[in-house]
């Protein structure tokens, strides 16, 4: 088991009450785990800002009937092949497709790939969800 440190925190009463309400909403059973997660969230956010290696998912919806659509999407993904670890394509209905691409690499390259896919004419919506490789996070 990892060594634990204990520390005291001074906090305004009202802020702590708001924190406790948030914890209950998020299903935390104690403040310690919630605080650890807040710290991890900030550390991971810092990794994103510094262009460190991250893992993430790019999800985008498009109408596959548009001219050159598939060609453009394929070409961009080949240009970033070193970032893409897995891809899933789902035919949503007669017109619409969704692709979910799992990525691993520098956050700045992942953002660049996501922005290029989003900017393709015919892509209706594109989201990037970034997480951590977990390596530097305890
Ligand atoms: Ni499809």
Quote the ligand 1 centre to 89 CA distance (angstroms): 6
Q: Return the number of other C-beta atoms located less than 10 Å from residue 51's C-beta.
A: 14
pLDDT of residue 68: 87
Is 136 a residue whose pLDDT tops 80? yes
pLDDT tens by residue, 72-131: 999 999 999 999 999 999 999 999 999 999 999 999 999 999 999 999 999 999 999 999
26 & 75 share domain: no
The pTM (predicted TM-score) of the whole model is 0.86
57 and 124 together in one domain? yes
Residue 2: inside a domain = no
The 10s digit of each residue's pLDDT in 17-32 is: 999 999 999 999 999 9
Q: What is the mean pLDDT of residues 34-40?
A: 94
> How many whole angstroms from 98 Cα to the centroid of ligand 1?
7
Distance 101 CA to ligand 1 centre (A): 14
List, for residues 38-87, the tens digit of each pLDDT value: 999 999 999 999 999 999 999 999 999 888 889 999 999 999 999 999 99
d(CA 92, ligand 1 centre) in Å:
7
Domain co-membership, 42 together with 75: no
Instruction: Output the DSSP codes for 4-47.
Output: P--------HHHHHHHHHHHHHTT-SSHHHHHHHHHHHHHHHHH
* Ligand 1 centroid distance, CA of 125 (Å): 15
Ligand 1 center–CA 52 separation, angstroms: 33
Residues 109 and 125 in one domain: yes
Distance between CA atoms of residues 73 and 77, nearest Å: 6
Is 6 within the bounds of a domain? Answer: no
- Chain centroid to Cα 98, Å, comes to 17
Q: Is residue 136 part of a domain?
A: no
Which residue segment(s) compose the domain that 91 sits in? 53-130
Q: Is 72 within 8 Å of 66 (Cβ atoms)?
A: no
């Amino acid at each position: 088991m990892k060594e634990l440190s204990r520390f005291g925190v001074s906090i305004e009463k009202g802020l702590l009450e708001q924190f406790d309400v948030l914890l209950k909403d998020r299903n935390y059973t104690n403040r310690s785990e919630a605080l650890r997660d807040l710290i991890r969230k900030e550390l991971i956010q810092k990794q994103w800002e510094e262009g460190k290696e991250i893992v993430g998912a790019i999800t985008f919806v498009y109408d596959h009937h548009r001219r050159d659509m598939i060609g453009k999407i394929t070409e961009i993904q080949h240009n970033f092949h070193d970032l893409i670890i897995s891809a899933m394509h789902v035919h949503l209905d007669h017109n619409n497709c969704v692709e979910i691409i799992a990525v691993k690499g520098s956050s700045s390259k992942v953002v660049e790939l996501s922005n290029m896919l989003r900017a393709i004419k015919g892509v209706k919506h594109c989201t990037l969800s970034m997480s951590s490789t977990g390596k530097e996070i305890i």
